[in-house]
Amino acid sequence: MSAVPADRDTVLRQAVELGASDLIISAGYPVMMQRWGALEPLPGSAVLSALDSRRLAESFLNPALHERFTRDLELDTRHFIPGIGHFRVNLFIQRGHWGAVVRVIPLHIPLPSDIGLPSHTVQKLLGFARGLILVTGPTGAGKSTTIASLLEQLNQTGPARHIITIEDPIEFLFEPKQAVFEQREVGVDTKTYARGLRGALRQMPHVIFVGEMRDLTSMSMALSAAETGNLVISTMATQSAAQTVTRIIDSFPPHQQPQIRAQLALTLRAVVSQLLLPRMDGKGRVAAREIMFATQAVQNLVRDDKVHQIPNVIATSLREDMVSMDDALAELVDRSLVDFEVTYPHYSDPEKRASVQKRFYRTASVKGHS
């Protein structure tokens, strides 16, 4: 008999209590949890049989979702335990066996100050009445949390706004304070991101959050929505502002790209690209963020197909509240929040990396002799 906890909600409660960010349910392994960037077995879980993994994965499905999953063999859904948390669930089949990956979504929506976003950056981001703001980074980089914190800041501080979210699935649930929220889930409340966006434009929005700009249609709709006077916030799985701009433009056919460059130069307001790194004290993770605002210089580079020069503009625009990833990493190391070694692969400038490395080990040596 496996030592797996008795039911789904017991597993999820344990994950929340232990501070896990994700769970992996897969036959042939114990339930695995991702905590502070490290993957480890959930305490008390033995290796799951095919029946164990199916039972746990299947418990997230009602009859309608069960029918969809057995038809499509892939499914995104969500689960809620009152007083514990929200959970984003991806179900799949591997080697004929059921499995799931579960993302833990905290009940409490943090404010930007809680996750290390400087107040002057937040003020500038939320001061835009229209245009496109993108938060980017790899899977698990905290993009959804960053955007939720910005929306919650709007919600708490006013003035009153109509905020429409289009998500797949819905993650953070907002309690209306100063804002009116409409949260629409792809596959449940709307068929596709593109349809949801098209509908949102007829619903008098002030802010539209699109869970992900994942294809040409949703990109085109988001650009059009931003161009017609709405503030659109979305995510992309890109590593930097320059890569983000390039990805958007390259998603369109060559004959459309000059028009898209002009449209993007007109609508883009900011790109925040982030990484989550393990804290040196072992107490969770901390974000390193490249921050780019679309100044006139950036707009000209986008329009003139000189995107490769954007990193130089970011690095020399501190007075415009821009921050390069190299500088963000260096600050975390200099403040002893992260170990230099975890930042090593992420620098773009070898000289900057060498300078930070020298300071880090000199400081460590001094502390070792004190």
- The answer to whether position 30 is within a domain reads yes
pTM: 0.89
- The answer to whether position 368 is within a domain reads no
Q: What is the pLDDT of residues 303-333, one digit of tens each?
A: 999 999 999 999 999 999 999 999 999 999 9
- Do residues 208 and 200 lie in contact, with contact meaning Cβ atoms separated by under 8 Å? yes
- CB atoms under 10 Å from CB of 364, counted, come to 13
- Same domain for 69 and 171, yes or no, is no
| Rounded alpha-carbon distances, angstroms, from residue 8 to 40, 52, 80, 150 | 18, 11, 11, 32
Q: Which of 94, 59, 91, 62 is nearest to 76 (CA)?
A: 91
- Same domain for 116 and 101, yes or no, is no
Domain CATH number, residue 228: 3.40.50.300
CA 267 to chain centre: 21
- The answer to whether position 364 is within a domain reads no
Domain CATH number, residue 25: 3.30.450.90
- The answer to whether position 293 is within a domain reads yes
CA atoms within 13 A on the CB side of 175: 4
- The answer to whether position 118 is within a domain reads yes
Among 64, 84, 105, residue at a domain's last position: 105
- The answer to whether position 18 is within a domain reads yes
Largest Cα separation within the chain, whole Å, is 66
Distance CA 355, CA 358 (A): 5
- Same domain for 135 and 231, yes or no, is yes
- CB atoms under 10 Å from CB of 345, counted, come to 8
CB within 8 Å of 357: residues ≥ 6 apart? 340, 344
Among 70, 105, 140, residue at a domain's last position: 105
Q: What is the pLDDT of residues 106-132, one digit of tens each?
A: 889 999 999 999 999 999 999 999 999
- The answer to whether position 163 is within a domain reads yes
Q: What is the dihedral of CA 312, 318, 319, 321, to 10 degrees?
A: 110
Q: Which of 74, 114, 136 is nearest to 290 (CA)?
A: 136
Backbone φ and ψ of 33, nearest 5°: -120, 140
Distance CA 261, CA 250 (A): 10
- Same domain for 32 and 125, yes or no, is no
Q: Which residues pair with 131 in a beta bridge?
A: 231
- Same domain for 93 and 196, yes or no, is no
- Same domain for 79 and 166, yes or no, is no
- Same domain for 42 and 191, yes or no, is no
| Rounded alpha-carbon distances, angstroms, from residue 291 to 85, 203, 311, 313 | 30, 31, 10, 11
Boundaries of domain holding 335: 112-359
Among 105, 136, 167, residue at a domain's last position: 105
- Same domain for 89 and 136, yes or no, is no
| Rounded alpha-carbon distances, angstroms, from residue 142 to 78, 124, 272, 294 | 18, 20, 11, 22
Residue stretches of the chain with pLDDT short of 70 = 1-6, 365-370
Provide the number of structural domains found in the chain: 2
Q: Which two tokens stand for residue 118?
A: 């400087």
- Same domain for 28 and 169, yes or no, is no
Q: Which of 179, 184, 172, 113 is nearest to 143 (CA)?
A: 172
At 50, which helix (H) or strand (E)?
Answer: helix 50-58
- Same domain for 65 and 130, yes or no, is no
Q: Which of 321, 323, 316, 318 is nearest to 301 (CA)?
A: 316
Q: What is the pLDDT of residues 130-177, one digit of tens each?
A: 999 999 999 889 999 999 999 999 999 989 999 999 998 898 999 999
- Same domain for 192 and 294, yes or no, is yes
- CB atoms under 10 Å from CB of 110, counted, come to 17
- The answer to whether position 121 is within a domain reads yes
- CB atoms under 10 Å from CB of 200, counted, come to 25
- Same domain for 149 and 211, yes or no, is yes
